[in-house]
Each structure stands twice: as structure tokens, then as C-alpha cells.
Amino acid sequence: MAPSDVAKQADEAGLRLVRFLWCGNDGTVRAKASAVRGLEDRIRTGIGLTVAMQAMNALDQLQPVEGMGPVGEIRLVPDPDTFRVLPYAPHMGAMLVDNVQLDGAPAPVCQRSFLKRMEARLAERGTRLEVAFENEFSLATQVDGAFVPIDSGLCFSTISATAAQDYLDELAGALEAQGIVLEQYYSELGHGQHEISTKHDPRSRCPARARRVTRAEALARERRQRLPYALLALGREPEPVPRRFRTRPSLPGSALVHRWRARTPPGSLRPDGAELQLLPPDPAAVLGGCVRLLGPRQP
């Protein structure tokens, strides 16, 4: 999609602002917004951002990272193909951005550019990865200063599903309005815990990494219409919300990874070269690499 097409769609939809979204190293989805007037030019040139933002933690505390101090700027340059009209925010749209240096090169800390480089390296080896996510989240209210799950039902209980039905109905509508197909929903093991899975389409112009951020935003924003708090697996909210309810089952997250042979028709590989296998030829190396990238985490 061209910048002029995005500007036209934003104008026809009656938008006033379009958010330029990125997910920082702290796992927080952040945004700067452009007015619709001048949007076409800002899609091309981006919006300025201090390099220090990628060194912020989830409490907005600047961490001592070389080259990421308060002096210096990058540009937030959006991907027009990720443009969406936000159903949960009146007169608002959104796009995901790349972090770009002033000379036009990808910023070293740009997460989307890193994924693009890894995709290119896989393509050199005749393969590609396809990734899909399951979003697990817990819904809570606050009683006497403590977070309390909205239900205490059993796994897959209809009691739990009914307790969250108003929120889930609006969430399904918000996802559908953004072109994300909801495939399954169920209440999970933990109290107040719920899970959704969405359709994976490798032909989509909006890849899994973009849909992941879009879903997380919809989960967080829709719950504000119905419930005070939501805990998201594989994502954080910049609020004093615990990662899980203590003494209750914890909140996991899931990612499904396929390695595909770059041929027509495409097929998923197994270590012996056969079809349909979840992991590449050396699963231990893949998992070890993920652990190394994630680094030590608090229990």
C-alpha cells in the first residue's frame, strides 16, 4: 500500500490521528501519533524519537546502555501495509514502524529490521520460518487493593467463559474489524485465565509479528471498556499489575514455529526431510538460541 492510499483511507474513515506503534525491548507497546493532515509525508519521513527509548525498562527507567543515551535521534517510519482503523479508539488508526537512523539505515536496535535480516538469511538457505501465537491472558478486578480474578471456575468451564463473555464479544469484534480472524477461544486452567488463537495466513500482507502486536493492543484496550485490569502473556502493560496471581496457576504464552522449504508448493520440514514438523533439523540449537537471546529471567 502506498502512503497516499493510507492517507486517503484515513481521511475517508474520519480519522483524526494515526498511531505509529513499536514494541520496545521492555515488551511495552508504545506510540507516537500523527495527525491525518500531513500523514502522507510523515509515512515517508517518519517521526523523531530519542535513541534512549530502546534503553527504557518497563518502569520508564533509563538503563545504562552504550549509544542509547538521551542525546541522538532515530525516525519511526511506518509500514503502510500494517495500517488499521482502530475499532476501540474513536477516530484513531495505527501502523507498525521500523526504527530508522537519520541516514536511512535500520537502527541497530530495530526489532522488525532484525527479523527481516533473519528472514533473508533463512532465504539464502532455501527455507523460511512461519510463526503463529496463542494469546493467553487473565482478567481481574481490584478489591480492597488486591487483584482478584473475575472468576474461579475450572479449566474450560462455561462458568468462566460466561463471566468474560461481554469482554470477549467486544474483543472478537475488534479483531474482526482489523482483519484478524479469531479461530478458537476457551477459558483456561488459571482463575480468570482465557486464551484465543487466530488464523495464520502466510500470504497475508500483515505478518505474524505485526498481528502479535495488533492482538496485544486489542486485548489491552478492549478490556479497559469492561474491566479494570488484564495480564497479558508475552507482553506487559506499564501499570502496577502482577505477572500472575500468587498461589494460582501461572500464565504461560505459546508460539508455534514452522520451518518451511522455499519451493512450490511449500512444505514444512522434518529432520529427515519429510513434511510437517514443528522444528528445524536441530531443535536443541533453536531452543538454545532462544534462551540465549532472552537471557536470565526472574521466576
pLDDT, one tens digit per residue, over 2-31 is 999 999 999 999 999 999 999 888 888 899
- CATH code reported for the domain at 130-256: 3.30.590.10
Mean pLDDT comparison of 25-34, 97-106, 131-140, 206-215, highest-scoring range? 97-106
Report helix, strand or coil for 184: strand
Lowest mean pLDDT among 70-84, 88-102, 206-220: 206-220
* Block residue for cell numbers 479508539: 89
The rounded distance, in Å, linking the Cα atoms of 40 and 5 is 9
200 to 60, 109, 139: CA distances (angstroms): 34, 27, 25
The rounded distance, in Å, linking the Cα atoms of 12 and 1 is 16
Report the pLDDT averaged over residues 180-190.
88
The pLDDT value recorded for residue 299 is 41
The rounded distance, in Å, linking the Cα atoms of 150 and 133 is 24
More confident site: 297 or 73? 73
Contact 24, 68 (CB under 8 A): no
243-294: per-residue pLDDT in tens?
Answer: 445 545 545 555 555 555 555 444 554 444 444 444 445 555 666 666 666 6
Residue 205 has what DSSP assignment? S
Residue 221 pLDDT greater than 80, yes or no = no
Mean pLDDT of the chain: 77
The pLDDT value recorded for residue 239 is 37
Percent of the chain with pLDDT over 90: 32
Common-topology check for domains 3-109 and 130-256: no
38-57: per-residue pLDDT in tens?
Answer: 999 999 999 999 999 989 98
Extract the C-alpha cell encoding 193: 485465565
More confident site: 269 or 63? 63
More confident site: 96 or 296? 96
The pLDDT value recorded for residue 228 is 47
The pLDDT value recorded for residue 219 is 61
The pLDDT value recorded for residue 37 is 94
More confident site: 16 or 131? 16
The pLDDT value recorded for residue 137 is 84
User: Which residues have CB under 8 Å from 183's CB, separation 6+?
Assistant: 197, 198, 199
Report the pLDDT averaged over residues 220-233.
51
Contact 2, 212 (CB under 8 A): no
The pLDDT value recorded for residue 77 is 97
80-124: per-residue pLDDT in tens?
Answer: 999 999 988 899 999 999 999 999 999 988 989 998 898 898 888
Extract the C-alpha cell encoding 174: 475488534
Amino acid at 125: R
Domain boundaries, given as residue ranges, for the chain: 3-109, 130-256
Residue 162 pLDDT greater than 90, yes or no = yes
- Cα-Cα-Cα-Cα dihedral of 139, 142, 147, 153, to 10°? -50
Amino acid at 90: P
The pLDDT value recorded for residue 222 is 52
Report helix, strand or coil for 52: helix
Query: What CATH fold (topology level) applies to the domain 3-109?
Result: Ubiquitin-like (UB roll) (3.10.20)
* Block residue for cell numbers 486517503: 8
* Of 148, 44, 138, 137, residue with least CA distance to 98: 44
Helix (H) or strand (E) segment spanning residue 50: strand 47-50
Amino acid at 108: P
CA end-to-end distance (rounded Å), the chain: 43
